[in-house]
């Protein structure tokens, strides 16, 4: 039964269908927003992905037919530091390249319009939190594990100044 269905599907398509079965993919195919016409779509795919893989993936997962695919590999710029993100002077590396594919579609695809109301997503509360989030990010500094408390720094500076001028006497933390 399944063979008969596969043969009828294969005879209707203008291309041969791969026999690679795809259940739960362990890769990411990203549809990019671009200024291409509606009959074209742009994707970011893994480096090992081929044009045939993308064509079969789009057809079997989304029932989207394609007429042509163009691909290129975009090299990343050379950066200073370690690949993990920590800055080290005089150490250079090139981050991993990305593969981009542009697909010619049989039927045009138009991005859906955004929602008219953001009431379901609490956009007002999120916008109210933006200044606090920016302030917190500024205090976090450039390192992820470093927290800079500017108020405490000012208080410690004033306390040190008072100790040096003799207005206060030093007490250890254990004494009360």
pTM score: 0.56
Residue-wise pLDDT tens digits, 108-123: 998 888 888 877 788 7
Is residue 21 within 8 Å of 61, Cβ to Cβ?
Answer: no
Rounded to the nearest 5 percent, the helix, strand and coil shares of the chain are: 35, 15, 50
Q: Look at 145 and 75; give whichever has higher pLDDT.
A: 75
What structural domains and CATH numbers belong to the chain?
2-105 (3.30.70.330), 119-165 (no CATH)
């Amino acid at each position: 039964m399944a063979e008969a269905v596969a043969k009828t599907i294969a005879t209707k398509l203008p291309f041969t269908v791969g026999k690679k079965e795809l259940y739960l993919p362990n890769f990411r195919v990203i549809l990019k927003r671009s200024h291409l016409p509606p009959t074209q779509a742009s994707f970011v795919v893994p480096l090992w992905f081929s044009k045939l893989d993308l064509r079969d993936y789009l057809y079997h997962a989304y029932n989207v037919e394609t007429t042509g695919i163009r691909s290129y590999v975009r090299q990343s710029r050379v950066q200073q530091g370690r690949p993990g993100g920590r800055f080290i002077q005089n150490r250079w590396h090139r981050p991993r390249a990305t593969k981009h594919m542009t697909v010619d579609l049989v039927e045009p695809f138009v991005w859906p319009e955004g929602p008219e109301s953001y009431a379901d997503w609490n956009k007002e509360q999120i916008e109210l939190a933006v200044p606090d989030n920016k302030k917190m990010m500024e205090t976090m500094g450039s390192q992820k594990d470093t927290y800079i408390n500017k108020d405490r720094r000012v208080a410690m500076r004033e306390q040190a100044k008072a100790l040096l001028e003799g207005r206060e006497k030093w007490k250890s933390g254990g004494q009360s």
